[in-house]
Chains A and B, each alone.
Chain A
C-alpha cells in the first residue's frame, strides 16, 4: 500500500469521527426544539447548530481529500509527491478542528472586535471557524493542490479524470477565499457569501464527487476508463450548466435585482433533469452487474447516492425553488429538510461508498459483506428519510402559518413554533434522529470490524 493510501485511511477515520460529532450536535439541535430548556445557560442552540453544520462541511471535506489521496497513487502509478508535508497538514487540520470545536463549546462567543474574529468565531454561517483556522484550511488545501499537481508532474502523465480534478481544485480553493473579506453591507456580503456556499456545494463539490465516483466505478465495477471519462465530461457539463446559474435561487430575497427571480428559478428547475439521467445510469449499472459485486456495501451506498441525489436534490429542491413558492418556504424547516436530504444523497452516501472500497483493499478482503452494513445502511437511510419527512411537515406548517397567514411578523413566528403540526414534526424528527444515530453507531462498528468478523471471513473464503 502506498503511503498516500495510509494517509487516506487516517483522513477517513477523522471524517467518520467528525461525522459522529455532527450527529451528536444534530441530536442536540433537535432536542432544543422539543425542550427549549435543554442545556439552558450551558450551551445555547446556536452553538449546537454551528457544530452541526460545520461538522457536516468538515467531515465531507475530509472524506473527499481522503478519497483523492487513496486513488491518486494508483491512478498515476507512483507515490504522492510531498507526502510528508501532506501528513503534517493532516495533523494540523485535525488539531485545528478539535481546537475550533472546543472554542465553540467552551468559549462560545466574543465581542464585536478583531480578537473574536481571529480567535473565536468569524460569524458567517458555514464558515464560522475563526480567522486563524480559516487560514489553516487554505494552507491545507494548498498542500493538497501541491500533492495532486506535483504528483502528476512527477509521473509526467495525467488522465481525463485527474485533469478535471486538477482544474476543479482552482475554484475549490479560490471560492473559499470569500470567507475572508469583512463586508458591512448585508446584501453585498450575502451576495458574495453565496458564491462560496453555493459554488462549493453545487459546482466544485459536484465535480469533485463526480471525479471520485468515476475513480470508484473503475475499481468497483471494472468500468472502462473511456466510458467513465466520457460520462464524467457529460456530468460536469450538465451539472455546471444548471448549477452555476442555479446560484440565483439564493438571490431571490437578499436585495439583489429582480432578474435573479427568473434566472435562479429557471436554472434551479432544470437541475432534476441531469439527476434523472444519473438514476437511469444507476439502474443500468446495477442491472448489468446483476447487483453482484465483491463489495456490496460500497455498491449499495453508490446506488443510494444516485437515488438520494435525485429525490433529495431534485424533487425536494423543485418543490420549493419556484420564486412564488420560495417566497413562503425559504429559511423554514422546509429548507432544512431539502438541505439534509440533498447533502445526504449527493455527498455523504458517496463518501461512505469510497470508505468501504478503500477498507476492502486495505484489509485485503476478497469480499466485503456481512450483516452489520445492512443494518447501518437501513437505519441511516430510514433515519434520514424520517427526519426529512418530519422537517418537511414542520416546514410546510411554518410556511403556511407564519409566512402566508401571519405575514412573517415576530408574533406569527412565535405562533407557528407552537402550532401542533410544527411541534409534532419536530418531535418526530428527534425520534428519527435517534434512529439515524443508531445507524451511525452500527456503521462505526462495521467499519472497525469489517474483515475481522467470523461471518465476513467465512463469506470471503466461500467466494474465493
Chain B
C-alpha cells in the first residue's frame, strides 16, 4: 500500500461507516414517523454503502481477508437497525 491508496482506503472506510449510520438514522426516522420517504432515503444510503464497499474491495490494496470482512460487515450494517428497532419496540410498552 502506498500513500495515495492509504488515503483512498481510509476515506472510503470512513464513508462506509458514515453511510451505515445514515442508513440507521433514516430507517429509524422512517419507522418512527411511518414515512416511506425516510425508508427510501435509508435504502438509498444503504445502496451507497454497498457501492462504497465495492469500491473498497475493487480499488484498494487491502489484504483479501479484510476485503472479505468488509463484505460480511455490510450484512451487519444492514441487520443492526431493524434488529435494534424490533427489540426496542418489543421492550418499550408505550411505543413511538
Is the pair B6, A266 in contact by a Cβ cutoff of 8 Å? Answer: no
Interface residues in B13-29 (C-beta closer than 8 Å to A): 13-14, 16-18, 20-21, 24-25, 27-29
Most A-side CB within 10 Å, residue of B11, B13, B33, B85: B13
Complex Cα distance, B13 from A315, in Å, reads 8
Complex Cα distance, B11 from A396, in Å, reads 10
Contact of B2 among A277, A320, A401, A404 (CB under 8 A): A404
Query: Interface residues of A: mostly helix, strand, loop or mixed?
Result: helix
Complex Cα distance, B79 from A198, in Å, reads 28
Complex Cα distance, B18 from A319, in Å, reads 10
Is the pair A280, B84 in contact by a Cβ cutoff of 8 Å? Answer: yes
Residue on A nearest B83 in the bound complex, by CB: A277
How far in angstroms is the closest Cβ of chain A from B53? 12
Is the pair A272, B17 in contact by a Cβ cutoff of 8 Å? Answer: yes
Tally of contacts, chain A with chain B, CB under 8 A: 123
Interface residue? A254 (CB, 8 A): no
Contact of A276 among B63, B69, B81 (CB under 8 A): B81
Interface residues in A288-331 (C-beta closer than 8 Å to B): 288, 310-311, 314-316, 318-320, 322, 324-325, 327-329
Residue on A nearest B12 in the bound complex, by CB: A319
Interface residue? B47 (CB, 8 A): no
How far in angstroms is the closest Cβ of chain B from A204? 24
Enumerate chain B residues within 8 angstroms of A287, measured Cβ to Cβ: 28-29, 32-33, 96
Interface residue? B37 (CB, 8 A): no
Complex Cα distance, B80 from A399, in Å, reads 33
How far in angstroms is the closest Cβ of chain B from A309? 11
Is the pair A322, B77 in contact by a Cβ cutoff of 8 Å? Answer: no
Is the pair B28, A324 in contact by a Cβ cutoff of 8 Å? Answer: no
Q: What are 7 of the A-B contact pairs (CB < 8 Å)?
A: A276-B21, A276-B24, A279-B28, A280-B84, A283-B29, A315-B21, A319-B10
